[in-house]
Amino acid sequence: MTKGLNPSTTTRRPDRAALFIAAVLAAIAGLIFWDVSRLSGAAGYSQVGPTTVPYAIACCLAGLAVWTVFAAFRNDFPEREHQEISPVIWIVAGLAAQMLLLNVAGFSIATGILFALTARGFGKRKLWFSLPVGIALCFAVWVIFAKLLQLSLPAGPLEHLFF
């Protein structure tokens, strides 16, 4: 913990991201304190009631937040690699689309879109190709799991067309 990392960039500027993480940890600790304080601590014969453990966890999180602040000022965090944001956005969009469309469009279409957008995130730009491939693949998976193996996967227009 005492080693100074990344010697070339050791300007004494605190690591902003780490400070943000510390703030989030402190906020979680505060949230736990606030929520648990409303519970009745009645514990019967055990002196450890329903509030004890959450309080302990909140205290530790608060302590870790302070530790993280120190680490931020000492630049103790490992150097972060450059992150491409657009692929992440494509994949998150795919997951969100699947979540919202699942009950409307059925498993095959919703998951096919997730498939195509994930491939897009990894650089396959040809959506006109990957989207049909994804939907066909997901339909095959749906047939195997929902029809053959009786897993409850939501059906939509495409599935109703065949079954």
Partner 1 sequence: MKHFFLASILAGAMALPAYAADYTIIAPANPGGGWDQTARSLQTVLQQEGISGNVQVQNVPGAGGTIGLAQFASQQKGNPNALIVGGYVMVGAILTNKSPVTLKDVTPIARLTGEFEAIVVPAASEIKTMADLVAALKKDPGAVSWAGGSAGGTDHIAVGLIAKAAGVDPTKINYIAYSGGGEALAAILGSQVTAGISGYGEFEAQVKAGTLRLIAVSSGERLAGIDAPTLKESGLDVVVENWRMVAAAPGLTDEQKAAVSADVEKLAKSAGWQEVLKTKGWQDSYLSGDAFAAQLDKDVAATEGVLKDIGLVK
Partner 2 sequence: MATFEFLLQGLWVAAQPMNLLYALIGVTLGTAVGVLPGIGPALTVALLLPVTYQLDPAGSLIMFAGIYYGGMYGGSTTSILLNTPGESASIVTALEGNKMARAGRGGPALATAAIGSFVAGLIATLGLAFIAPYIVKLALVFGPREYFALMVLAFVTVSSAFGDSTLRGLTALFVGLALSVVGIDQLTGQARLSFGVPELLDGIEVTTLAVAMFAIGETLFIAAQGEKGPDKVEAVRGSIWMSKLDWARSWKPWLRGTFIGFPIGAMPAGGAEIGTFLSYAAEKRLAKHPEEFGHGAIEGVAGPEAANNASAAGTLVPLLTLGLPTTATAAIMLAGFQQYGLQPGPLLFATNPQLVWGLIASLLIANFMLLVLNLPLIGLWVKLLTIPKPWLYAGILMFATLGTIGANPSVYELGMLLAFGLLGYAMRVFGYPIAPVVVGLILGPLAEQQLRRALAISQGDVSVLFTSPIAAVLLVIAAAALIIPLILRARGRGEVLAQLAANED
Quote the tokens at residue 51.
């509030």
Between CA 50 and CA 36 the distance in angstroms is: 9
The correct pick among 3, 16, 45, 148 for binding partner 1 (CB under 8 A) is 45
SS3 state at 140: helix
CA–CA dist 89, 118 (Å, integer): 10
What separation in angstroms does the CA of 40 have from each of 35, 43, 52, 58, 65?
A: 11, 9, 11, 17, 27
Among 54, 155, 73, 81, which residue's Cα sits nearest to residue 111?
155
Q: How far is the CB of 72 from partner 1 (least distance, A)?
A: 40
Q: How far is the CB of 110 from partner 2 (least distance, A)?
A: 9
Applying CB under 8 A, which of residues 19, 136, 141, 143 lies at the interface with partner 2?
141
Check binding of 129 to partner 1 (CB under 8 A). no
The single residue among 107, 109, 131, 159 that binds partner 2, judged by CB under 8 A, is: 107
Residue with tokens 């943000």: 20
Does residue 131 belong to the site contacting partner 2 (CB under 8 A)?
no
Amino acid code (one letter) for 159 = E
Q: Is 23 an interacting residue with respect to partner 2 (CB under 8 A)?
A: no
**Which residue among 26, 109, 131, 153 contacts partner 2 (CB under 8 A)?**
153
Contact between 47 and partner 1 by CB under 8 A: the answer reads no
Partner whose footprint covers residue 156, from partner 2, partner 1, none (CB < 5 to 8 Å by kind): none
